[in-house]
Every structure is written in C-alpha cells, then in structure tokens.
Chains A and B, each alone.
Chain A
Amino acid sequence: MTTQAMIESDTFQAAFEALDTQSPLHELRSKGFERFRELGFPTRRDEEWRYTNIKPITTTTFKPASGSITKESITPYTLSDTSCHQMVFVNGRFAAELSDVGTLEAGVRLESIATISESSFDMIAPHLGSCAEIEREVFTALNTAFIEDGLFLLVPRDVDLEKPVHVIFITTLGSAAVVTHPRILIVAEENSRATIIETYGSDGDGVCLTNPVTEIIVGENAIIDHYKIEQESEEAYHISSLNVRQHRSSNVTSHNYSFGGRLVRNNLNCALDDEGCEATFNGLTIGHGRQHVDNYLRIDHNKPNCNSWEYYKTVLDDQSRGVFCGRIYVAPDAQKTDAKQTSMNLLLSEEASITTMPQLDIFADDVKCTHGATIGQIEESQLFYLQSRGIDKVAAKTLLIYAFANETIAEIKIEELRTRLERVLLDRLPRGELLQGGL
C-alpha cells in the first residue's frame, strides 16, 4: 500500500470505528474492511485500472454524507408515482417520506437493508455478499465495510412483479467532499420476474464519492430487467459494481446509462452458473467536458448452452475520455456458448479519447464467440446528405448523434423512462431542442 493509500485508509479507519459494532451486519463489515486494508487502492500499474486514474479519489478526504432534501429536489429523477414502486435514499439513508412503495404482490419484500437487518436478518444473511467479489474488487470491499442501508427486494417463486421498482440515490453536495456506500440486494426466486431501475443523482454541486454495490441472485427461469442511470453532478466520483449470478434458464438484461459524474467506473460482473442462461448487457455513455467514464464488464460462461450479448455505445465530446473493457470468459466445459460483444464509439472532438478492449478468454472448442469494435466520427457523406436536404449542419450533426445513441434507449420497455432518457440525451446535444418536439 502506498503512503497516500495508508493515510486514506486511516480516514476510513476512523469512519469504520464509528460504526455500530452491535449491528448484525458488523461481521460482514469487518470482513470487508479487512480485505480493503489488504488490497489498498489500485494504481494505474494494475491491469484493471490501467486507463482510469483514481488518484483524485485517493487524495480526497471524504466525510460521510448527511442532510435532507425536499420533494422538489428529486423531481428531475422520478417517474410518476403510479407507474412504479419508488424507494428514495438520501445520502445513503432510506427516506420514507419521499418514497412511495405502493401495493406489492403477495410475498414480495421491498424494504431498506437497515430495516430488514434489524427485523429479520436471517432473510438477507445467506445472500448478502454472496456474489459481490470482495476478494478482487477493492471498492466492493470498501462498500462491504460500510454497509448500512440500501435496498432489499425479494420476489418469491412464481410472482411477476408488475410495476418496476425505482430506487433513487441522492447525495446532497456542498463544500465538503462526502461519501456514500449504497447497497442493493435483489433475490428473484424460481419463475419470478422483476424490473429494477437504479437512478443516481445529486442535490447541488460539489465533490462526492458514490460507491454502490448491487447483487442480483436470479433463480431458475426468473427474468430480471435492470436499469442503471448515472445522472450525478459533474464533479462526482462514481464507482459502481453490479454482480449478477444466474441459475438455470434465467434471463437478465442490464441497461447502463452514464450521463453524469466526473469520473465514473462501472464494474459489471455476470456469472452464468447453469445451463440455458441468457444475459444481455447494453450500455450508453454520453461524455462531455472533462468526464471520464470506464465500463468494465466480465461475463463468465461457466456452464454449457448459455448466450450472452454485450452492446456498448459511447459518444464523447470536448476533452472527455471513455474506456470499455468487456471480457467474455468461457470455461473448459461450457460448450455451445454463444457470446457476442460489440463496442461502438463516436468521437466528436479533437481532444476526446477512447480506449476499448473487447477481450475473449476461451477454453472450450464448440463455441461461437465474436467481438467487434469500431471507433469513428460522423460520416461526411451522411452530413452532406442531410445538408443537401436543407437541414443545417448543426442540426444534421445532432440528428446523426441522436440516431447513433438512441438505439440503446429505444429498447427501454418502460415508456416513461424511455421518454425521460431521450430528453436527457437531447439536452446534451447542441440544438437538441430542435428534435424535442418531434418525438
């Protein structure tokens, strides 16, 4: 561990010691903290962090976030109350007054982790930490050390959760740098179905570190639709980790949208642990200013007859930087694997840069694995085509970027979310208002 990291972990040490040792979560926290001390923060010498420098994080002293907000501050992020079960967390803590759980199907548990760990800890104990990798990922270890609150969702056998669960994490920002470690645990039992939307936002401007960890355990034949929307302040550091474990014939779709944040790193791990699983990972990154967005995927085909798709798009403007790493691992006996990986990138300015690493790690012979990556800019011929039809250059450019990026948004099944994200996308494009009316 470097000296700087030592100092850093000492500030975390103080915060860790301040936690309630009587909590049933404490054993797990201690394990996480121990692992965090062992690993230390990565540097660019570590292969997995080669293109993302987290020095700004390790050189900042973060305080635990606190404070409250009004209903108005969350309106930019909400969907209408009737269309979803809404859970709001302010500075990492559950805010009952802003949430609206509504009516749930029989047997479904949708609670805050703080509540459930006090009332029936046994329910979460076998799952919490079961698929998040504290061994390998230091930020997951750090999150585990500070588990206090977050979302717990249990969808019992044969239940189809009709409305999506929308969980919003808001951090109030100010002069001091603050940190939150949200945790999400989703257990979908056999033949169940659920849709979860995670939205990350900020109230005000300032520096923060948001370090969420999501675990999804997907039972046999279960279907999970997961959305993650990053819309935090452009001074925010955001290091997230999504960990999925799939059982026989289950189906998971993940959508990952990054609009906000100064430095964003999304670790997405998916283990296909039994036959017949399908996993789809879609992503869209829109970067401008000095944003840095890094998506790091790993899909483990551990058993035969599973399919996976990765489809990631990045649009970068100004001095923004993007990183994509998608690794498909196929275990020695995972025959008949069909895996596809696509990374498409659009650079809009002279100063933007992208690094993409579509990797294949294959130990079985009867497989179909492909990957493709493209990096380019707006085609002159397409611009010319639109200009020749009387559309001015800026609008034509906007139209083409929109067409490129919107492909991943158009797939969103929740209509209200789709329109909202289309608007977010258009707001980021020059003269996007031109297209607003026409949608």
Chain B
Amino acid sequence: MSSTTTSDPIDQWEQTDEYKWGFVTDIESDTLPPGLNEDVVKAISAKKNEPDWLLQWRLEAYRNWLTMTEPNWQNLEYNKIDFQAISYYSAPKSDADRPKSLDEVDPKLLETYEKLGIPLEERAILAGVAVDAVFDSVSVATTFKDKLHEVGIIFCPFSEAVQEHPELVRKYLGSIVPPNDNFFAALNSAVFTDGSFVFIPKGVKCPMELSTYFRINAISTGQFERTLIIAEEGSHVSYLEGCTAPMRDENQLHAAVVELIAMKDATIKYSTIQNWYPGNAEGVGGIYNFVTKRGKCAGDNSRISWTQVETGSAITWKYPSCILQGDNSIGEFYSVALTNHHQKADTGTKMIHIGKNTKSYIISKGISAGVGRNTYRGQVKVLKQATNSRNFTQCDSMLMGDKCSAHTFPYIEVANSSSHIEHEATTSKIGEDQIFYCNQRGISTEDAISMIINGFCKEVFAELPMEFAVEAKKLLEVSLEGSVG
C-alpha cells in the first residue's frame, strides 16, 4: 500500500518538514502517528491515491470541522475526546501479526461464538485469524462477487470505488450528509479511510443479502467508515452492517457516516447489528459509537428502512434518518437498543416529510439493565407541502433493576393539516406475575426473562434478515447474562 521511493507524496511532505510531529512512514505497521492537521488529511488522501477533488473536499471538511464545536445536548456524558491523540490512519494488520489458528484466540471469545451459534469457518475470520489460514472463505467471497457483477451491481470498498467509479462517488458523496452537517460528520469527511460503496443499477433486484458477503469481507475497516449506497430507479437492495459476534477493537472513537439514496420506486433496507466492546462491568473502556446515518427517498414511491440492534459500545449516539422527498415515499425505523452495566445509548430517528402522501413508521424498543441509560430521541417533521402524510411512532422502554434509567424525548413538528401523526410510548418492567407464571410451568427465571424480552423486541426482529434474527435473539440473551435475578 505504501512505498519508500521519494516520488511517494507522503515522503515529500515528510521532507518539507511541514509536519512537525516527526512524520515517519513505518512500512511495518503503516500507521500515522497521532494528531490531526491538514497534512494528516493530505497524507490519508495520498495513501489512498485519491484524485485532487476528493482531497479538496476533505480539506474543506477539515477546515469546517475546525470552526465547529463538539455538541453537548445529548443525554450522555463521556470523557472529552482528545482528537490530537488519535491516529487517523492505520492499515489492516498484516497476516504475520494475526493468530495462526483458532487455538491462539482468546477462549472467552470462542465461547461467545459458540453461544451465538456462528458457523465454524466464520469464527476464524471474526477472531481475526489470517485469511490464508481460513479454509475456503476467499473463494466463497469471489463467487459472490462474480454473481453481483453479472447483474451490474457495484459492491466494493470505498477506496476502490474512488479509483474505479469516481464519477459516481463525486456525484453522490456528501449529497445526503454534507461535510459540514455536524461535528462528527465533518471529522469523518476529513479523515475517513474506507468503507463500502454499493450501486444498484436501474431495475435490478439484488440477488442476495449483501450482508453475507460483507461479513466475510469487511473486517478491520477503520474507525472512520464511509458508506454510500445508491439504488437507481426500481432497484432493490438489502444490506447488513456489522455482525452479532463481539468485535475486538482498539479504537475508542467510531465516527462513521452512512448515506443512502433511493431513486424512484427503489427500496433500500439497511440493517445494523452492533456489538462492539461495551467496556467491562465497571464501565471502564469500551467504544464510543457516534454515527451519522441518513437516507434520502429522492424519487416517488421509494422506500428506506433502517433496522438496528444495538447491544454493544460503551456509548451509542446515532439517529438513522430519512428525508422523504419523493411523493408516496416511505421511511421506516426499527430499533432495539440494549444498555447493560454502564452502557449509555442516545438513539432514535428523524423523519422529515417533504413529499405528498409520505409515510413513516417508527418502532423503538429500549432495554436498560444494570446502571445503563437508554434514551430515545426522535423527530418527526412534516413540512407544509407534505399533504396526507402519515406517521406512527411507538417507543417502548423496559427497565431491569432500579439503577438504570429510560428517557424519551420525541419532537413532533407538524405544519400540515392533512397529516396524521400518532405517537405512543410506554415504560415498564418485567412483571413478577409474568415470571411467576413461567416458573410455575417449569421455565427457569433466566429463560422466562429471555422469552419476555424476545417478545418485547419481536416487531423489530421480524424486520431482520432471517439468519440474523436468530443470532440477534441469542445476542440479547448473552448481553443480558448476569443482569437478571
């Protein structure tokens, strides 16, 4: 990925002495030293061999970021992030550093895979075992790639798309989440390293869940991911991000940006299962997951559906949103957010109704246990011209234990008299009578709670691709382990 010849632009910067922190290109680890300035942005762009327009775009985002302040309205507290202490580029570990086989992997991790029922060959990849040591998986991925190529679907790492389809990237990058949208989106725009790019051509229904492929392929993406999905007229795609298996990660801050564009009659279904390291039971460590996700139903009759199961991360702070611009377009948001121990989540959605007859549907289930804090924050905004628009929102919270908390902050703004908006929310705990009923029938308390929780989340799980729904169920059980009784 890098070279030591003097023609390398990175080395040129090094020689001009502009980067006073002692910039060294270490071929072994290929990691930039901590710190952020324009030279770092330039270095990332150069490493990716990006065209000039993208570099300028990044630099503009960086300059914007400098003028912005970190938001503080969230219902979360976290230690101030030192943005100069983060290394903004780190290439994937070389195979040499990885465990040679599953025998070298932390047995605790393997135990969790066992509980989740993850297929054996996938376990190795998830645990970060060197790819060539994993039997067969490369060929599997290649087969999928051919199949997608046949129908004209572009599905590749973001940096590859920049090289091979620059016109598409240039047209759509930042069109939904502008680089100056918010503090973390600006940061991401300046320093993003990789991510996924999906383009579904007109009239094509994606023949498979892009998830399967993704799970095998996209390990070790950086902490500043950039995802762009474009669904042309009449196309259809279902995309799954993340996976149920716990991901070990050294990076504390994850600030990804996801942009979805659905043209006329197109459907995008975006599912997320997030199970990053939540910190230990005392709340030490863990990932900050600050993500900007937004989709635009640009064409008439288009549809964007977000489904998320958030069980990991010390702090989750994200609002997958839909801009319903096309007439008759539909936005959906299904979410299960679980906070155990010291985890905190402030999540929800924004539905902005612009087109006529637009519909949005929000189902949010929050579960708090331990001293977890779970917040639903959502906005439904109906503009004047959005006649006959419709929204239904249901946000339910479940509290387990007397130290946790649940918060609901909906914002409903309506400027159109022909719209129908309904919002309802409940907060409750698992009734002792319900547990008793199960115990009486020979079901252990732990199983009873798991049953009740699954019933509580059923509406959301029903939206997940089938194999993940099964895993998500087990994931909740594992995540809640020990918090019961």
Determine whether the beta carbon of A376 is less than 8 Å from that of B420.
yes
Determine whether the beta carbon of B422 is less than 8 Å from that of A360.
no
Q: Does B408 contact A (CB under 8 A)?
A: yes
Determine whether the beta carbon of A354 is less than 8 Å from that of B399.
no
Determine whether the beta carbon of B421 is less than 8 Å from that of A374.
yes
Determine whether the beta carbon of B411 is less than 8 Å from that of A362.
no
Q: A366-B429, A369-B426 are in contact. Are A359 and B408 (CB under 8 A)?
A: yes
* Residue among B407, B413, B414, B424 with the highest chain A CB neighbour number at 10 A: B414
Closest to B385 in A: A350
Q: Does A367 contact B (CB under 8 A)?
A: yes
Q: How far is the CA of A345 from the CA of B420 in the complex (A)?
A: 10
B396-432 CB mask vs A (1 if < 8 Å, else 0) is: 0101111111111111111111111111111111000
Q: Does B73 contact A (CB under 8 A)?
A: yes
Determine whether the beta carbon of B409 is less than 8 Å from that of A359.
yes
Closest to B429 in A: A365
Q: Does A430 contact B (CB under 8 A)?
A: no
Closest to B415 in A: A353
Closest to A361 in B: B407
Set B384, B408, B416, B419: member contacting A360, Cβ < 8 A: B408
Determine whether the beta carbon of B412 is less than 8 Å from that of A375.
yes
Closest to B423 in A: A373
Q: How far is the CB of B435 from chain A (nearest CB, A)?
A: 14
Closest to A341 in B: B425
Determine whether the beta carbon of A362 is less than 8 Å from that of B397.
yes
Q: How far is the CA of A333 from the CA of B407 in the complex (A)?
A: 16
Set A348, A363, A368, A371: member contacting B405, Cβ < 8 A: A363
The number of inter-chain residue pairs (CB within 8 angstroms) is 118
Determine whether the beta carbon of A366 is less than 8 Å from that of B402.
yes
Please indicate the chain B residues that have their CB under 8 angstroms from the CB of A353 in the complex. Answer: 384, 413-416
Please indicate the chain A residues that have their CB under 8 angstroms from the CB of B402 in the complex. Answer: 332-333, 335, 364-366
Closest to B406 in A: A362
Please indicate the chain B residues that have their CB under 8 angstroms from the CB of A360 in the complex. Answer: 397, 406-408, 425, 427
Set B400, B413, B425: member contacting A371, Cβ < 8 A: B425
| Interface residue count on the A side (C-beta < 8 Å) | 37
Q: How far is the CA of A51 from the CA of B400 in the complex (A)?
A: 35
Determine whether the beta carbon of A365 is less than 8 Å from that of B404.
yes
Set B404, B411, B420: member contacting A357, Cβ < 8 A: B411
B29-53 CB mask vs A (1 if < 8 Å, else 0) is: 0000000000000000000000000
Please indicate the chain B residues that have their CB under 8 angstroms from the CB of A361 in the complex. Answer: 405, 407-408
Determine whether the beta carbon of B425 is less than 8 Å from that of A372.
yes
Q: A359-B409, A362-B406, A374-B421 are in contact. Are A350 and B416 (CB under 8 A)?
A: yes
Q: How far is the CA of A300 from the CA of B404 in the complex (A)?
A: 18
Closest to A367 in B: B427
Q: A373-B421, A374-B423, A377-B417 are in contact. Are A365 and B407 (CB under 8 A)?
A: no
Q: How far is the CB of B424 from chain A (nearest CB, A)?
A: 4
Determine whether the beta carbon of B417 is less than 8 Å from that of A352.
yes
Q: How far is the CA of A358 from the CA of B411 in the complex (A)?
A: 8
Q: How far is the CA of A363 from the CA of B402 in the complex (A)?
A: 7
Set A358, A363, A368: member contacting B423, Cβ < 8 A: A358
Please indicate the chain A residues that have their CB under 8 angstroms from the CB of B397 in the complex. Answer: 360, 362
Closest to A349 in B: B417
22 A–B contacts from the bound complex (CB under 8 Å): A347-B414, A349-B417, A350-B384, A351-B415, A352-B417, A353-B413, A355-B411, A356-B410, A357-B411, A358-B423, A360-B407, A360-B427, A361-B408, A365-B429, A366-B429, A367-B399, A367-B428, A370-B425, A370-B427, A373-B410, A374-B420, A377-B417
Q: Which of B's residues lie within 8 Å of A, judged by CB?
A: 73, 384, 397, 399-429
